[in-house]
Amino acid sequence: MAEDNLSQKVEKIEQVEKVGTTKPAQEISAADELSSPTKVRFDDAMDKADTRWSQVQHQAALAANDTASPSPIDMLNQAANKTLVTKVPTAEGIVTQSQDLRNIIKGNTQTIEQAQTATPSIQLSAAQEAIANDKLIHVDYSLRTALSQTGVEVTAASIAPKPAEKPLVKFLGMLTNSDTQLRMLVNQIDGLQSTKNISPATLLAVQIKLNFVQQQLEFFTNVINQAVQGTKTIMNVQV
């Protein structure tokens, strides 16, 4: 009897140890199934975060590397946002600015003449012709106004195109006329300065007009350069 009781006690102890140290396979599977959805959601959230970060980095890189040249419309908007008067006007400053504008006109004249020599059949699109013509008309008007501020009366130049006259030929004539007006303006400013007969208000009015002329000439230059470059590209493709 004693041996039977001892055998039963040992058997019970072994059962208790097995229960305490071994986890049933069903319980392990259940625990894994409970944690699996949480892990999936976590991994999905991390993937989305990584994707969003990559998109942000890509957009930032595109913005940093955006070196495309501005369109004519963009240039016009930028020019319109510039301050018309950046410093107190002086006679010397007006003369220097006038010389700078004459250089811009000279550069445009050379560009047109070279383009006509290289490609006699060069043509502008209707839009390019209209924009360029409008800018030179504004240049002429502003220069006449600037001259009138200094006491010089200038009549409007005839800008009506002659029969069969090419747009670029007309533009050359308008540029030449604007250069003449600027030369007259420089001579008038020099004369008034020598006699001390020029007021700050007059200088200010002239400077405002010259700043506007500069904006129009810069825009005209951009249009002409694009037209010439476009013609060269077409000619190269045809060749």
Per-residue pLDDT tens for 91-140?
A: 999 999 999 999 999 999 999 999 999 888 888 899 999 999 999 999 99
CA distance 98 to 29: 89
| pLDDT (tens digit per residue) in 51-86 | 665 665 555 555 545 444 555 555 555 555 554 555
Confidence of residue 157 (pLDDT cuts 50, 70, 90): low
pLDDT at residue number 230: 74
Per-residue pLDDT band at 184 (split at 50, 70, 90): very high
Q: Which pLDDT does position 165 carry in this prediction?
A: 74
Query: Given a cut of 90, is residue 179 above it in pLDDT?
Result: yes
Asked whether the predicted pLDDT for residue 190 surpasses 90, the reply is yes
Give pTM, 2 decimals: 0.63
What pLDDT, on the 0 to 100 scale, is given for residue 164? 60
